[in-house]
Amino acid sequence: MGCSDVKQFLLCTGDVTKNLKSGIWNASRSVSNLELIKALENGSLQELNNAGDMVDAHTKIFVAPNDPLQHLDGKADDYEIIVKLFFLDGKNDSLDGRRGTTDQVFLYLNQLLGINNVSTLVASFPHVVFSKEGLKVTPDSRVYSSIDEVPEEEIQSWIDTWKILEGKVRQGKVGTLGISEFGVPELEKLIPNVEISPESTQINNGGECKLPLDLAKYAEQKRLKIFFHSDPPIFIDENEITEAIRHACPNLPARAHADWVVRYTILSRKTSVIHRKGYFVKASFM
């Protein structure tokens, strides 16, 4: 399999609930990306043939051979579909870049899973973390210590990107919007400048269950739901994505960078049980 002419990759884990042992599930409660990393390591991903007009000529799609992607069975109303979109493209936060990413995500959801719309879309932006407690800083982790450090152009990119997501709501592709890792200072920059406010904010509070008082009060005023999560600041790093691609494509000519990650969770509305859960990872050469 030749990869020298490839510019981009899409890695699809399939349903991670089928492949991961209980030990990984337990560990992922503290660091959620372990289930993604293990799925990429253990999946022996193979190139998807006959992808048709789904992607351009410079993109290869890899899927888990033991869990071929299938369109949802039953009616769309039978499921609640929650999608979290991790924008990992700090270098590509232009309006066109974010619009392209968002359009790609919905194209792949439709073509690979038969999903035309989602119940909730949660946006996660790079460089922003709610809690700095125990944060391990690496060369890949450029994290702002406060809102005062965030450049105005990056704050504007949050607003511009949110307006793109608002467009998906108006098109009927998204029911509600949520945001990740935004505390009061970040929410105060976003909400006054958009038309559709987030209905929830997800925070990683460093394992603490206690909510900061200012966020609790702000959430009550704005009718925001607050959820806890265990997603790390760097969801997948350069070494992890490069190694995963090289398992499937040994002659990879350069190191790779993850541009974005989507985690989709499909719940049965009748039972609230997870019907399927998986990841798409879009990567490109450094």
The whole-number pLDDT of residue 27 equals 46
- Position 189, amino acid: K
> Residue 279, Cα to own-chain centre: how many angstroms?
8
Within-domain flag for 160: yes
Helix (H) or strand (E) holding 61: strand 59-63
Within-domain flag for 18: yes
Within-domain flag for 2: no
Can you tell me the distance from the alpha carbon of 230 to that of 14, in angstroms, rounded to the nearest whole number? 21
User: In the structure encoding, which two tokens stand for residue 254, read together?
Assistant: 């350069």
Helices (H), 120-203: 152-170, 184-190
The whole-number pLDDT of residue 185 equals 96
- Is-contact 122 200, C-beta < 8 A? yes
CB contact set of 221 (below 8 Å; sequence gap of 6+): none
- Total domains in the chain come to 1
Within-domain flag for 278: yes
User: For the purposes of burial, counting CB atoms within 10 Å of the CB of 91, is it exposed (0-12), middle (13-18) or buried (19 or more)?
Assistant: exposed
The whole-number pLDDT of residue 281 equals 92
Within-domain flag for 3: no
Question: Which pTM was predicted?
Answer: 0.90
Can you tell me the distance from the alpha carbon of 67 to that of 12, in angstroms, rounded to the nearest whole number? 10
Averages of pLDDT over each 10 residues, the chain, 286 residues: 69 80 49 80 72 63 77 81 88 82 93 92 92 60 84 94 98 97 96 97 78 93 92 82 78 80 93 90 82
> Residue 88, Cα to own-chain centre: how many angstroms?
9
Domain that holds residue 177: 8-285
Within-domain flag for 145: yes
- Is-contact 187 201, C-beta < 8 A? yes
Can you tell me the distance from the alpha carbon of 95 to that of 71, in angstroms, rounded to the nearest whole number? 31
The whole-number pLDDT of residue 243 equals 82
